Amino acid sequence: MKIFEKLNIFYAVLMVMALAFFVACSSCSNSSSDADTDAEIEETTSDDLVMDVDPSLFLTDSGAVTVALVPCTLSDGTEGDCYQIVTTSTPADHTMGPWCPDNIADGAEAGGIWLENGEVYDVDGAFIQNMATFYNDENWMMYDENGDIYTTETEDDCANAANPNVGEEYANFCVECLPSYVTDMSNTYTIPVTPVKLASPLSFGGFGPPGASSAPSNRGLAFNGVVFDAPAPTDAILGAYTLAPFDDAGGHINLNAGYHYHAATGVSTQVAQTDNHAAQIGYAMDGFAMYAQLDADGNEPTDLDDCRGHTDSIRGYHYHVAAPGSNSFIDCLSGAYAE
């Protein structure tokens, strides 16, 4: 009898151990399965997340920018809603200028900046004085015997000097078009509320990755309503022996577009992110958000596509603009634009 009791106890212990092992293995299997499922959800969320344009980020309090919801058709045929943004192209978050210093003795605070070979240069008096050396061309001489710099002074000068067919009378002039010349400016831009990512990118006015379709030349809008414009035609400007500096915000004025940016220098309004990511600076014309080049630690993403975009699980697809000295922002549109 004692033998049977011992056997029963032995078998009971074995059953308990087997049950415990089964439960443990089931838990391991479920944990692994849950982890795989979480990874799949995170990956799907990251790839599929689309962030709508947030109209509250635009600086409308000054009246320089208005935002209205309108029906629209996108370049891929999608019908939906867009934000129609009407702007005076006058930034409410910073002053415009200066652009040209008065004398070769002036410091950096008297002038703007110039973009060359990926670098940003202060257009101070010394820069103007050394143009012949900087460009290895003795035809540059932008100042008189007193060191005073030749600068456009009227709206007519601006119109005549800031165009592809500038006359020889403006050679060696610093071209400075003033805000007072464009006080009645009004520009309208339309951006999709919900971005639609395309299978292939769209180039800007014929410039972009090989095989890309063509899109408008404007890259996007800053929150102050100032457009992120196409690269400035610096070769044509310099070819006429003129200089048309940008202010410290990366902008200058022409009579057709008003004030516009050619570089993101960190002066216009930025929306900081809570995860060390680069700050948001505006929206591209396809509705995807535009962010600064570098994150809070000074690092640039290493996985950007041909348009300078990539995806994360917080912001979905978005762009990072190029370095200020590049005379550029993004290289193409990944999404459909409003027609």
Q: Tens of pLDDT along 191-248? A: 999 999 999 999 997 444 555 556 889 999 999 999 999 999 999 999 999 999 999 9
- Of 27-41, 103-117, 193-207, 249-263, the least confident: 27-41
Q: Two tokens at 205?
A: 């006015």
Q: Two tokens at 173?
A: 């002039």
125 neighbors 296 (Cβ within 8 angstroms): no
Instruction: Give tens-digit pLDDT for 26-38.
Output: 444 444 444 444 4
**pLDDT value of position 13:** 39
CB atoms within 10 A of CB 16: 10
172 vs 2, more confident: 172
Asked whether residue 83 carries a pLDDT value surpassing 90, the answer given is yes
Per residue, the 3-state secondary structure of the chain, as one string, reads: CHHHHHHHHHHHHHHHHHHHHHHHHHHHHHHHHHHHHHHHHHHHHHHHCCCCCCHHHCCCCCCCEEEEEEEEEECCCCEEEEEEEEECCCCCCCCCCCCCCCECCCCHHHCCEEEECEEEEECCHHHHHCHHHHCCCCCCCCECCCCEECECCCHHHHHHHCCCCCCHHHCCEECCCCHHHHCCCCEEEEEECCCCEEEEEEEECCECCCCCEEECCCCEEECCCCEECCCCCHHHHHHCCEECCECCCCEEEECCCEEEECCCCCCCCCECCCCCCCCEEEEECCCCEEECCCCCCCCCCCCCCCCCEEEECCCEEEEECCCCECCCCCCCEEECCEC
97 vs 29, more confident: 97
246 neighbors 113 (Cβ within 8 angstroms): yes
Instruction: Give tens-digit pLDDT for 272-326.
Output: 999 999 999 999 999 999 999 999 999 999 999 999 999 999 999 999 999 999 9
Token pair 């979905």 in the structure block, residue: 316
Give me the phi and psi of 48, to 5 degrees please. -95, -15
C-alpha torsion 182→183→184→189, nearest 10 = 70
Q: Two tokens at 74?
A: 């996108």
219 neighbors 204 (Cβ within 8 angstroms): yes
Dihedral of alpha carbons 208, 213, 218, 220, sign:
negative
pTM for this predicted structure: 0.85
**pLDDT value of position 9:** 43
CB atoms within 10 A of CB 4: 8
- Give mean pLDDT, residues 124-139: 98
CB atoms within 10 A of CB 107: 11
* Domain range list for the chain: 1-48, 49-90+185-226+268-335
Instruction: Give tens-digit pLDDT for 39-57.
Output: 443 444 456 899 999 999 9
What is the gyration radius of the CA atoms in the chain, in angstroms? 29
Asked whether residue 85 carries a pLDDT value surpassing 70, the answer given is yes
Token pair 């549109």 in the structure block, residue: 333
Asked whether residue 22 carries a pLDDT value surpassing 50, the answer given is no
Report CA 58 to chain centroid distance, whole Å. Answer: 15
Cβ neighbors of 266 (< 8 A, separation 6 or more) are 292
CA distance linking residue 293 with residue 279, whole number of Å: 9
* Structure confidence at residue 100 as a pLDDT band (50, 70, 90): very high
221 neighbors 53 (Cβ within 8 angstroms): no
**pLDDT value of position 2:** 43
Asked whether residue 19 carries a pLDDT value surpassing 80, the answer given is no
**pLDDT value of position 211:** 54
